[in-house]
């Protein structure tokens, strides 16, 4: 199937595109002198001297050569201009290609840098974006795993494994208690073990050395999630739920690994479903508000944003600057086939909304560009664009879910039980936010 590209009007006309256009001049040629010799025969048989007015002077360069030199000069200038433009623009890739993955769709599919991880009920398989199996690691049944792009934390029963990008285990050990879940960061592994309520949190480095342990902070609480943050992942946050009080209450704890509990915040009864770190700020997102805290757990109320009626779909966190957080209306995201609006939030100053030209099943933000997926098309818009460009999907069946995004700008898409990796069309669409 040949992919096609067309533009759908949303609000305003798109910016006019300009490009380099060189014009060539036609240089006429004069006729040649019929007398090759500079001297001519007189009627009396004598020859006129070469300095006679009738002498023909040869030009230093023919007009054909001059035209060729001029053409080469113009071509060289054009190449220089094109090269200069290329240094400051992204090469346009307008087509969408699809590669099938050798696995059925399940919730155990996870991006791993430029690769894809899949757990088949016994082993973890690492696949390239083109579907080639790079390696497999056997865990057993009822296992779980988490990854950060460079390392994998896997667990089964009371045993924990740390794997590198090549599937090699740098650490495995029996922790003595059932592992509920693990999370991995740049430096450390966090493992929640024991009973569902009043669990114990263990922190280890990539070699398995014991770094920290916490149990008192989670007495009569259910640990929901945890993560590492900071320039080198030296800090840790945990999200717990108190269901034994008069009203449900979410609690955020912050730690400096190996040192002390740096803060504790009661978040209230609104359900907190996402915590992320960007630009030195912990952003805690619940069903009503997005709140901001420093590494000690002190809230910056000036950076709070009301997000009631909106749910976070995806985010892009740069090494520097504010994260780009993409939301859809809760009423629309509850139905995966009916997303018509998107909202982009970045820091406390950027809050933009976009109308989609078609009903979509998911959306993502990558390389500061918004992509939305319908059943048959991929939609793309720069952050400041007023319209979306649409691309037909090269799939034999309709897309049913946008699973996740790889680090190199590809997306994992499900079509029923089938799974594909699609390239994202890219171009010079990025404008600053």
CATH value at residue 233:
2.130.10.10
CA separation (Å) from 203 to 44, 116, 234, 326? Answer: 117, 26, 11, 31
Average pLDDT for residues 419-428, to the nearest whole number? 84
Stretch among 43-47, 275-279, 355-359, 399-403 having the lowest mean pLDDT = 43-47
Secondary structure class of 163 (helix, strand, coil):
strand
pLDDT at 81: 58
213 and 242 inside one domain = yes
The pLDDT of residue 159 is above 80: yes
| pLDDT band at 329; cut points 50, 70, 90 | very high
The more confident residue out of 271 and 46 is 271
Query: Is residue 6, in this structure, part of any structural domain at all?
Result: no
Range of the domain at 243: 139-308
Considering the entire predicted model, what is its pTM?
Answer: 0.76
Q: Are 151 and 163 in contact (CB under 8 A)?
A: yes
Q: Which of 308, 335, 354 is the last residue in one of the domains? A: 308
283 and 369 inside one domain = no
Total domains in the chain come to: 2
198 and 166 inside one domain = yes
| pLDDT band at 263; cut points 50, 70, 90 | confident
Q: Which of 308, 330, 348 is the last residue in one of the domains? A: 308
Query: Is residue 70, in this structure, part of any structural domain at all?
Result: no
Query: Which residues are 125's β-sheet partners?
Result: 118, 136
Find, among 291, 363, 276, the residue nearest to 322 by Cα: 276
157 and 289 inside one domain = yes
Query: Is residue 253, in this structure, part of any structural domain at all?
Result: yes
147 and 187 inside one domain = yes
Per the prediction, the chain carries an average pLDDT of 83
Backbone angles phi, psi at 321, to 5 degrees: 90, 180
Cα(172)–Cα(256) distance, integer angstroms: 24
């Amino acid at each position: 199937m040949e992919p096609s590209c067309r533009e759908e009007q949303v609000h305003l006309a798109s910016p006019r595109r300009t490009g380099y256009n060189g014009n060539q001049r036609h240089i006429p040629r004069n006729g040649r002198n019929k007398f090759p010799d500079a001297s001519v025969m007189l009627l009396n048989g004598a020859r006129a001297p070469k300095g006679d007015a009738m002498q023909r002077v040869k030009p230093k360069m023919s007009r054909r050569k001059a035209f060729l030199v001029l053409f080469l000069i113009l071509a060289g200038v054009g190449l220089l201009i094109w090269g200069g433009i290329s240094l400051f623009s992204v090469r346009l890739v307008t087509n969408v290609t699809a590669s099938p993955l050798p696995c059925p769709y399940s919730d155990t599919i996870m991006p791993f840098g430029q690769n894809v991880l899949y757990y088949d009920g016994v082993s973890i398989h690492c696949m390239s974006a083109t579907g080639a199996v790079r390696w497999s690691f056997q865990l057993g049944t009822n296992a779980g795993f988490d990854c950060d792009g460079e390392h994998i934390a896997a667990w089964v029963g009371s045993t924990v494994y740390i794997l590198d990008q090549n599937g090699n285990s740098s650490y495995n050990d029996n922790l003595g208690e059932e592992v509920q879940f693990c999370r991995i960061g740049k430096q450390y592994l966090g493992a929640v073990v024991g009973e569902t309520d009043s669990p114990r949190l263990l922190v280890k480095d990539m070699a398995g050395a014991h770094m920290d342990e916490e149990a008192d902070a989670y007495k009569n609480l259910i640990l929901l999630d945890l993560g590492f943050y900071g320039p080198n992942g030296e800090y840790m946050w945990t999200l717990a739920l108190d269901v034994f009080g008069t009203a449900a209450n979410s609690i955020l704890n912050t730690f400096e690994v190996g040192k002390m509990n740096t803060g504790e915040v009661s978040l209230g009864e609104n359900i907190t479903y996402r915590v992320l770190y960007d630009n030195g700020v912990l952003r805690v997102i619940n069903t009503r508000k997005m709140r901001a805290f420093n590494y000690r757990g002190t809230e910056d109320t000036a950076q709070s944003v009301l997000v009631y009626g909106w749910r976070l779909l995806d985010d892009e966190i740069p090494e520097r600057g504010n994260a780009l957080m993409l939301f859809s209306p809760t009423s629309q995201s509850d139905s995966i086939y009916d997303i018509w609006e998107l909202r982009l939030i970045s820091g406390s100053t950027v809050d933009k909304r976009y109308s989609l030209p078609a009903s979509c099943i998911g959306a993502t933000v990558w390389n500061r560009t918004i992509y939305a997926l319908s059943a048959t098309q991929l939609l793309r818009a720069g952050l400041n664009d007023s319209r979306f460009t649409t691309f037909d999907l090269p799939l034999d069946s309709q897309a049913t879910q946008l699973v996740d995004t790889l680090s190199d700008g590809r997306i994992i898409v499900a079509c029923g039980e089938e799974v594909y990796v699609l390239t994202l069309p890219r171009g010079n669409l990025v404008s600053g936010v």
